[in-house]
Structure 1
């Protein structure tokens, strides 16, 4: 038995791969194009592990995907691979259309061909697990209930629109062709190996360097925060027991504003790595809001708890402490991912 994991060198994908192989001997084949956020160092601990095979390649390359399916005969394909940063989607939407839409289409068609040729037992067991985001549902007001799986799609950025399109493709391939699919829509993840252009790692890295901590607008945009290892455990639960064709929302039950997040990070750093110049909060800087910035996301994760018995193991307090400590313990990882291109991107994006 084998799993084929796309995007397994990225933040969430690599955490899933590492988590899976901690508790299972079932092999994983990781397919990743190693774009800016894909980092083989995330999987360095698996070097020489016979249970893990890494393949550098693009999910839009149909011949490659066909080859991997034929060669490794996986029982499931878990699809993490995606362009995922809203800011990048605003300045360069084309890559998001290609990877998130064309790439998902390519994987679905290759999976359909492979699945159609399986024997009855293997065919019934096969799963295409599509990992998506809460951003497809749009924005909430303070009074709105959290996103349920039945919420109308209202994507507001090129990123969320491309993910919404991929969700619709997955649904269509199930209803039209019978492909056994599962879809999960998660809230904002945080934790180890998070590329330092996203909010939490950016705040940690900048604070330690004595740089400004840029916060968009008034800092009151609210997100639900999910520790990445909890996301990995939820995907395991859905893969094992989720109903074919269903969508499961995965959330951390942790709604917090961006400003609250930054204050929490600063307070932890004040405790764990105090700065002689004073609290890291002195570095907080408010910058011009980004276009179309959704005000609030919140996930209603009762369905996955009711059907599969899953709840997050980490509170935000425990998860954010583990996250900050991980970055303090792994400065070499941070240094190596901060290329010149990354520094240029941050400088361009976060101008006061």
Structure 2
């Protein structure tokens, strides 16, 4: 909802003006404005929060991180928009859930709170990390080769060979970064997962929950 940032611009705060750049983000901004208006006009008891990009278990397979994991397991191309240098602040889903709980329990009515992960990564670097961890998983656990026979590149330690650059998405924002100082100070919110710990847990979950994500991918 805040739009996009240049490489050296300060992170979004709760005071940053909304500037959505796609119809999708504009619809989210509109919902926030409606909530604010009902609080101002009718006294509806509300709090609002904005977060950075979530990742973790049960993430729908079309999103970047689960898409990369599941495509590696099926030896499919890993599509990278444009040059892959779009930067996002990544937030482990359970840290986000804790932040929402704090906003609900301790947040001041009518206030907005940013919930961030303090983990800025370029998309291509995220993909490289996932490829490396997937290669290592297949190297250390031989049972994965039998469980995922289609993962030919991962089984020989070459998941990164699947990286494929594609035309950039229309209206693709270059950088997001969340300043969660207000939430940290007022609600004592601090994310517990670093990206390194969170992505390891996430990959392990997808490797052990094929039935869940495979049913979504094949539509069954």
TM-score, normalised to structure 1, is 0.58
Aligned with residue 86 of structure 2, among 221, 240, 258: 221
In structure 1, what is the equivalent of residue 101 of structure 2?
A: 236
Q: Aligned-pair distance for 1:278?
A: 3.3
Q: How does 1:28-67 map to 2 (within 5 A)?
A: none
What is the CA deviation profile of residues 106-138 of structure 1, one whole-angstrom value per residue up to 9, with x for unaligned ones? xxxxxxxxxxxxxxxxxxxxxxxxxxxxxx000
In structure 1, what is the equivalent of residue 59 of structure 2?
A: 194
Matched, 1:335 2:200: no
What is the CA deviation profile of residues 124-167 of structure 1, one whole-angstrom value per residue up to 9, with x for unaligned ones? xxxxxxxxxxxx00000001100000001110011100000000
What's the secondary structure of 1:285's corresponding residue? strand
In structure 1, what is the equivalent of residue 190 of structure 2?
A: 311
Residues 72 and 159 of structure 2 are in contact (CA less than 8 Å); yes or no, is this contact kept in structure 1?
yes
In structure 2, what is the equivalent of residue 62 of structure 1?
A: none
Supply the RMSD in Å over aligned alpha carbons: 1.1
Q: Could you list the runs of 5+ residues in structure 1 that have no partner in the other structure? A: 1-135, 342-352
In structure 1, what is the equivalent of residue 161 of structure 2?
A: 282
Q: Aligned partners of 1:158 and 1:198: how far apart in 2?
A: 18
Q: Aligned partners of 1:273 and 1:297: how far apart in 2?
A: 33
Matched, 1:145 2:24: no
Q: How does 1:95-114 map to 2 (within 5 A)?
A: none
Q: Could you list the runs of 5+ residues in structure 2 that have no partner in the other structure? A: 140-153
In structure 2, what is the equivalent of residue 119 of structure 1?
A: none
Q: Aligned partners of 1:143 and 1:277: how far apart in 2?
A: 39
After TM superposition, the runs of 4+ consecutive aligned structure 1 residues lying more than 4 A away are none
Residues 138 and 157 of structure 2 are in contact (CA less than 8 Å); yes or no, is this contact kept in structure 1?
no
What is the aligned residue count?
Answer: 206
Q: Aligned-pair distance for 1:338?
A: 1.2
Matched, 1:299 2:178: yes
In structure 1, what is the equivalent of residue 124 of structure 2?
A: 259
In structure 2, what is the equivalent of residue 325 of structure 1?
A: 204
Q: Aligned partners of 1:137 and 1:289: how far apart in 2?
A: 20
Q: Aligned-pair distance for 1:340?
A: 4.6
The answer to which structure, 1 or 2, has the higher relative contact order (CA under 8 A, 6+ apart) is: 2
Q: Aligned partners of 2:23 and 2:219: how far apart in 1?
A: 25
Q: Aligned partners of 1:198 and 1:317: how far apart in 2?
A: 19
What's the secondary structure of 1:180's corresponding residue? coil
TM-score, normalised to structure 2, is 0.92
What is the CA deviation profile of residues 15-52 of structure 1, one whole-angstrom value per residue up to 9, with x for unaligned ones? xxxxxxxxxxxxxxxxxxxxxxxxxxxxxxxxxxxxxx
Q: Aligned-pair distance for 1:337?
A: 1.1
What's the secondary structure of 1:137's corresponding residue? coil
What is the CA deviation profile of residues 206-234 of structure 1, one whole-angstrom value per residue up to 9, with x for unaligned ones? 01111100000000000000000000100
Q: Aligned partners of 2:73 and 2:21: how far apart in 1?
A: 33
